[in-house]
Amino acid sequence: MRTKRCVGFLMGFVFLGSLVFAQMPGERMIGRERLRENINRLRLLRMTEVLALTEEQTAKIYPAYYRVEKEKMELMKRLNSEIREVKDLLAGPEVKKEGIGPKIKAVKELRRSLVEKEQEFEDFLEQNLSDVQKAKYLVFSVEFYRSLGDKLKRARVVSRERGGA
């Protein structure tokens, strides 16, 4: 019970921190990166608790998780850049048709690479978790992001209420 309270407090801290960074325009990108890092840390802490990972499992899983997340971040940066370029090609009164084909192909390839990175981590977990832990991970994955979404919605509502008052 105490662990749940600590994790709940940590989640609240992460979300409040995200609201602060979202309010600072110059710090927006840095804030998003910090938020993403905090969410990743929180996810690992919760995963360790829910799956009851052993020290040996933790020593294997954490480095693999951070490596895959770092690679996904690089892919996301490239994807965002490609999307911006597609938007530029589509902007204005006339669509610039030249160059759209290669950009579409690049975006699709980057999206495919992101899915492959996700699958790479899933495969790694498959090799390093017991059947019970695998089942718990399936449930954890869905519930973690659902809970995260709910908390973000609540934080936005609170932020709007404070901004409107």
**What is the span of the domain harbouring residue 30?**
1-52+147-165
pLDDT in tens, 78-129: 999 999 999 988 887 787 778 889 999 999 999 999 999 999 999 999 999 9
Does residue 45 sit in the same domain as residue 59?
no
Does residue 66 sit in the same domain as residue 123?
yes
Q: pTM of the predicted model, to two decimals? A: 0.70
Q: Is residue 67 part of a domain?
A: yes
Does residue 157 sit in the same domain as residue 124?
no
Specify the higher pLDDT residue, 142 or 98.
142
Neighbours of 69 (CB within 10 A): 17
Alpha carbons 87 and 89: distance in angstroms, whole number: 5
Q: Is residue 141 part of a domain?
A: no
Does residue 102 sit in the same domain as residue 157?
no
The number of distinct structural domains making up the chain is 2
Does residue 36 sit in the same domain as residue 76?
no
pLDDT in tens, 17-50: 554 444 444 455 567 778 888 889 999 999 999 9
The H or E element containing residue 114 is helix 100-128
CATH number of the domain residue 84 falls in: 1.20.120
